Every structure is written in C-alpha cells, then in structure tokens.
Amino acid sequence: MFPPLFIIFYRAFTHFLNLFTWIIFVIRSMRKKEEWIRKKERFGIVDIFDKADNYIWFHAASVGELLSIKPLVQKLLNENYDILITTTTVSSANLFKKVFPDSVKHQYIPYDTPKYTKRFLNRLNIELAIFVESEIWPNFIMECKKRNIPLLLINARFSDKSFQYWGYAKKSLNYLLGSFKFILPQNTKTHNWFKKLGYENIEFLGNIKHDAEKLEINNDKLEALKKSISNKKIILAASTHHGEEEIIFSLFNKLKLEEDNLILIIAPRHPERAEFISDLAIKKCFKSKQIKFLSKNDEISYETKFIIYDKIGELGELYTLADFVILGGAFKSHGGHNPFEPAKFSIPIFTGPNFYNFEDDYKNLFEVEGAIKFTEDSFIKLYKDKNRLITMGKNAERCVKKFGGATEDIFNIIEGIKTNGY
C-alpha cells in the first residue's frame, strides 16, 4: 500500500530534521530533559546489546506507561523471553533502574527519523514490537513493517484532542494503525472510536494499569517520616504539574487560618521542577526555613510546613501515611493520572475536572464515592471528616478489586503471535 501524502511529508520532514537533532538534544539537555552521558541512544546507536538475542521490545514513553507493563514483563521473563524497554523521559529511565531486574535491557528511544530508526533496528533482532498507550511513531512503524516485525499497540488511549487531530489525517491513521496485528484499547471511548473508523484488529480487554502491583513501601522510610511529622495533619498533593501547585498553595493558605497544625507535601510529576516549586511556595505562603527537600535529606523539624518529595518511585510511603490525596494532572489540561494507583492504598482521591485520560476509572470511583471532584469548599468540608474519608478510601480499594485481568489476556496474545503467528 502506497503511503498517504501526510506520511510522505512526515518522512521527508524528519529526514531534514536530522540536521537539527543535535541542537534539539542540547537544548533539551540544558533543560534536564535529556541525559548527556547517554546521548548516543537518542541517535539510534546501540552498543550494549547482543545482536544474537531476539527481543520483545516495549516502548513505554514515561513513568505511568512504564509501571503499567511491569506485571506483563514479569510474566514474559518467567517464560525466558529477552526484553528490551525504551522510554523517552529521564524520570522514567531513573525509575526503570528501581523496578526492573538487570536481565531487562533499557535504552532511550531514538528520535523518530528514518536514519535513527533504521540504525536502531539494524543493530537489534526484534521479534515483536509493543507500543504502549498513544505512542504512534510513523518512521518506527514503517521500518518495523518493512522488516516484518509484528506490531502491537496495547493499553491504547486517545484524548479528545488526539481524536480531533487524527480526524484531519484519517488516511494516514488508517495506514499506520493498519500495520498493527492488534490494537488493545484501555477504555471504552477509544474502543468505540476505533470501531467507528472500521478497524477490525481491535479488542477491548481493559486497562493493564488495573493489574499493576501496589507501589512498594520502604518501612524504614515510612517510620522515619511518621516520627518526624509527628501528629501534624498532612495535605498530600501527588503528581502535580506546572500551574497546579498554585491551586494547592491557595487551599493551604485558607486552611492554615483555621488551624496551624498542618504540613503540606507535594510530590511533583517531574522532580526537576522542585526548585521552581520552592520559589513559588516562598512567594505564595511559606518562609524558606519552612521548606524541606526529600532529595537533600533535609531534617524535618517543628517549624517545617512544606515538604517537596522530589524523587521518583517513593509515593508508596506517602499514600500509606496520608488520609487523602489531591491527585494532579487534572487541574490543567494533562488528562489526569491513574487514580487506581493510590486507590490500592485505601485512600480517598480528590481530582480536578480534566481527567479525560482516565474517564472510565473515575466514573467507577465516583459511583462508589471513592473519589470526588475537587473544590476548595468540598475539600475543606471533607478533610475534617475522618470517618467519611476512611469510608471513601475503603470504597476506592474495593472498586480497584473489581477490575483486572487485561495483563493475562495480553500475555496470551503475545504467546499466540510468537508460537502461531496470529
């Protein structure tokens, strides 16, 4: 099938982009969005793998996608498959080291240009390529197709904006998605949208994030945190993005007028924003001596009012300690974050209005009152009601247990492709 005009233009543009990728990399590196020491990987250079190995290759762009595939990867490792995982973000690369064994290989995904994708695939023997969620990279897809590498798109999701964008390029989308053996949506909206477009290689199995393991807890860190915070009331905001901390600071300012025995903990989605958040906190409601950083091992004292949890992978202790969580990503247009992750800790969830990436999950949580839409008034009313918060947390945990099983189904599909080719 001859590629649509948009795909031809994209390949030509990305070929031209080769001239500027070093500049792009340097700029991103200065903004701490790239690792200079691993720069070769972003240009398709692979020198840490044995070409003789036959890899199942996962691309999981960021932290959420990476955590979601852990149970599936473990099942494949149990069957002695060789696994390669690529990610995009520095935070996901750092997390990888903590959650996967040494037998699983990691590389930053190269920039999606014809030159770098060919270089990457030439160096590796890939038996199966699995893209997670909304990762549709035309050059990688086309190169895999040329090499007869089977493609899967698992836990696929598209936002309303994505639907609108691809609506202007339906032929190109058809061309790209038609290259996948199976497309496995994570929610009913994405599934129904694909069905309306006439795709036949679609199967709705559920969201693999429901099968993700409960976040690990370091008991020593948990006990130390309990001891240092003592009997103070905790306001926890997790996975916040730019523009969302202001909302949290405004809330804290109102609450501290009623009582002084409060401590705010913010765990930003991107820890490299910690200094910016600290500066903002000083402008809005804190003195510098009241602010502590997890990464600096700052000692928490009686005058501490604000802790910045600027490390990846340590939310388990916070979800265990806190009475509730204000979950970020939904107060601005980021689509929200996985609410089932904190729900597994029997903790009630407050969310902003823009949770479109997890619409099904929030709908289920709202129905059992395991989560609630945030307003300052609703929060102030509820956060004092300890019994209701406990009930909400239990409701959230029970809701999680109702769903699951997608990981096992996807594993069976992978086994079928590898053994029978279907």
The answer to whether the beta carbons of residues 180 and 201 sit under 8 Å apart is yes
d(CA 293, CA 183): 42
Q: Which residues contact 264 (CB under 8 A, 6 or more apart)?
A: 234, 235, 237, 248, 252, 305, 306, 307
For residue 181, give both structure tokens. Answer: 């053996």
Distance of CA 320 to the CA centre of its chain: 20
- Scan for tokens 């594993």, then name that residue: 411
Question: Distance of alpha carbon 120 from its chain centroid, rounded?
Answer: 24
Burial letters 348-363, b for 16+ CB under 10 A, else e: bbbbbeebbbbbbbbe
Backbone angles phi, psi at 14, to 5 degrees: -70, -30
Is 41 in the active site? no
Q: Dihedral of the CA atoms 275, 276, 279, 282 (nearest 10)?
A: -100
Active-site choice (34, 41, 65, 133): 65
CB 347 within 8 A of CB 324: yes
Residue 132 backbone dihedrals phi, psi, to 5 degrees:
-110, 130
* Ranges of H-type helices in 52-113: 63-68, 70-78, 90-99
Catalytic residues: 65
